[in-house]
Amino acid sequence: MNESTDHWCDGISRKITEHYLRLNCEVITIGRSLQNDIVADLEEVNVEELVTQVRDVDTIVHCAAINEVLINDSIDRTYNINVTLTRKLTELASLADIRSFIYISTFHVYGISSGLVTDKSEINPINDYGLTHYLSEEIIRTRSKQAEFNYLIIRPTNIYGAPSSFDTFDRWTLVPFQFCVMR
């Protein structure tokens, strides 16, 4: 199961979905797009309703987030999607007896963007984007002990590749796309 909130994330979700389908796994997607198996407003997720729809799911792959560009549009919406949704999904994992939780976070939790960054580097988010992801990571760590699910947190730097649609693409600030707009 994976989730997306914007078109940039759709590319990640699509690749994750394709990966699991190649492994002959059944995949259930949740998100606002009508292309998802379960269409839901991620700001208003009702965990109790989802439990019946995700029976026999063994892994949640969570990559829904307001990105570092759109974060300035609404701080309330940002924390609701980036943090509260994560808490709700950990509750879903607990109630539906889902055994694994994979979270696509960001290297922004480190607060630095140059030099050597490893999983041993100090956590020091310097903006709400990094902070919301770090808070989500902590929610997952805490809830995994209570709900007894395994988790994996992935902190990618820039993710690149062709957007699913250039008509709605708004991530020209990402390094690979800067090359496209440089003169």
Tell me the per-residue pLDDT of 151-169, one tens digit each, with 9 for 90 and over: 999 998 865 555 556 566 6
**Domains of the chain, first to last:** 2-181 (3.40.50.720)
Q: What is the pTM of this model?
A: 0.81
pLDDT of amino acid 10: 55
CA distance 179 to 172: 9
Burial (CB < 10 A; 0-12, 13-18, 19+), residue 84, is middle
Give the whole-number percent of the chain exceeding pLDDT 70.
80
Per the model's pLDDT, the better-predicted residue between 183 and 3 turns out to be: 183
Cα 153 → chain centroid: 10
pLDDT of amino acid 7: 39
CA distance 54 to 96: 7
- 45-61 pLDDT, tens per residue? 899 999 998 888 999 99
pLDDT of amino acid 6: 40
Per-residue confidence band for 2, with pLDDT thresholds at 50, 70 and 90: very low
CA distance 82 to 95: 21
Average pLDDT over residues 66-85: 89
Average pLDDT over residues 99-103: 96
Per the model's pLDDT, the better-predicted residue between 182 and 54 turns out to be: 54
- 7-41 pLDDT, tens per residue? 334 567 888 889 999 999 999 999 888 888 999 88
